[in-house]
Amino acid sequence: MSFSRTKTRTKSRIKSRIKTVLVINGPNMDRLGNREPGIYGTMTLDEINAEIKERADKLDIKVQFFQSNHEGDIVDKIGSAKTDGIIINPAAYTHTSIALSDALAAYDGEAVEVHLSNIFSREDFRSKSLTAPACRGAICGFGGKGYLLALEALGNLR
């Protein structure tokens, strides 16, 4: 199966820098800290979110957090987002969810995909992201610091 999508909307609609960001985490991310620490590290999602909030405050960006193990809830959250940007770790839905890809493509802001592990150095099925083509960019392999890199990237968009 071949799947390819590029965002066709222009980026000229960005009138000013990103001021609000929604951070979305998908299935099993609520189990961080205990779940396969050799792959995902020992930080909990709350600890990662605290670091994101601290960096967002320094960048003068308002940040919101959302985690769900349910695909439809994530689709709904993207569809109702009133933020300038989204940082999303779709977790396992990265490789399976056309619905999330469609929701991100319809989102009227900028999105960055983040993964704690390097998805390209793991099982073959993990090297294909259905959601990344609907995002401005993707960051993987830097643990929780990847979210901070994504926040910096969004904060520097003009």
Catalytic residues: 40, 115
Dihedrals phi, psi of 62, to nearest 5 degrees? -85, 135
- The number of helix segments (H) and strand segments (E) in the chain equals 5, 5
Cα 117 to Cα 80, 89, 127, distances in angstroms: 28, 11, 11
Q: What is the rounded CA–CA span in Å between residue 29 and residue 149?
A: 18
The 3-state DSSP class for residue 8 equals coil
